Amino acid sequence: MQRQGYRPATILGAVKTLKSVAKRTSLLSPESVKDYLAKATVSETRKVKIVEDLTRLYAWKGIHFDKPNYRKVERLPFIPLELEVNQLISAMGKKTTVFLQLLKETGIRPGEAWDLRWTDLDLERGVVNVTPEKNGNARQQKISPRLTAMINAMHRKWPLVFRNPAIAKENSMHVFRRNYICQRRDLADKIQNPRINSISFKTFRHFYATLLYAKTRDLLLVKERLGHRAIQNTLVYTHLVSWESDDYVCKVAKTVDEARALVESGFDYVTEVEGNKLFRKRK
C-alpha cells in the first residue's frame, strides 16, 4: 500500500481491520472469512470496507478471492445544532478549543488542520492557507478576529501549530482524538445530551458546509471552500437543507451599506419600491 501511494492513516486502518478479522476467523482462508462476514453484526458499509482490505491482502498473497457482493449504504451526515457545537468547543482544553473553532469556521479537514504550519497563517489579515489532503484543492479561508486572537495566544513551540513534528502524525492525532472523545463523553453526561457524542472532528466540516449552503445556496462556493475536486462530493449538502417553508423574513435597505449587510446575512434581493430595496430570507 505504501508503494501504491496510500496515506499512512489508510494503511493503519487496513492493518487494524485485518487484525480484527484474524482474531475471529482464519484470515488466509477466503471461505472462512466469507462465512464470518455473512454472520457478522456490522453494517453493510463496514463489510464493504473489510472486503476492500481483504482483496488487497489476497492479491498480495496470490490467493484467489471471489468477493461477496456487499454494497455501501449512503447515509446523510449528522448535523448538530450550533448550540451543541458551541457547548462542545467551550468545554475543551485550550489547544482543543482552538482546533475545534478552526474546524467550525473554515470547514477544513481535521488532517489539514493537524498539518498547519505557522507559516500557513496570515494573522494580520485573518487568513489560513490550507494545504489539501485526499486529493483536494489548495485554498484560503478567512477566520474571525476572535479565532485570530486565540491562535496568537498559543505558544509557538514547533513549526506546526498543533503538534510536535518529531512524533508521527497518525500517533499524535490518535492521542489527541482519544482525549477529545473522553472530554466529549464527560460533557454529554454532564448536560444529559447524548447527541454530543456523535460530534466527531469530521462533523465540524459537515456543519460548516451545511450552514454555508443554507446561507448562500451556492453549491460552487461550497465546493470551493471545501476543496472538493468533484461537485458530486458537494451535492450531499443540498439534501441537508430544507426549503419547504414558505415563511420569509423581509427587510428593507435604504443605502448600499444596508443592502450589502443583508446580502452578507443571506438575504435575497426581491425588488425596489419607492427607492427602497426589498430583501427576503426563509425563516
- The structural domains of the chain, with segments of one domain joined by +, span 8-61, 82-233, 248-282
pLDDT at 247: 64
Q: Is 222 left (phi over 0), alpha (psi -120 to 50) or beta?
A: alpha
Q: Are 279 and 262 in contact (CB under 8 A)?
A: yes
Q: In sequence order, which residues have a C-beta less than 8 Å from that of residue 128 and are 6 or more positions away?
A: 102, 106, 108, 116, 120, 121, 122, 140, 141, 142, 143
Angle at 122 between CA 82 and CA 141, to 5 degrees: 40
pLDDT tens profile 112-151 = 999 999 999 999 999 999 999 877 899 999 999 999 999 9
pLDDT at 266: 77
pLDDT at 241: 65
pLDDT at 259 over 70: yes
pLDDT at 250 over 70: yes
pLDDT tens profile 21-74 = 999 999 999 999 999 999 999 999 899 999 999 999 999 999 999 999 998 887
CA atoms within 13 A on the CB side of 197: 10
Calpha distance 59→63 (Å, rounded): 6
pLDDT at 245 over 60: no
Calpha distance 237→206 (Å, rounded): 8
pLDDT at 204: 97
Class of domain 82-233: mainly alpha
pLDDT at 180: 97
Dihedral sign from CA coordinates of 234, 195, 16, 33: negative
Report residue 103 as a C-alpha cell: 474546524
Mean pLDDT of the chain: 91
pLDDT at 244 over 60: no
List beta partners, residue 268.
280
pLDDT at 135: 77
pTM reported for the whole predicted model: 0.76
Which segment of 96-100, 142-146, 150-154, 273-277 scores lowest on mean pLDDT?
Answer: 273-277
Q: Are 173 and 158 in contact (CB under 8 A)?
A: no
Q: How many CB atoms lie within 10 A of CB 117?
A: 13
pLDDT at 240 over 80: no
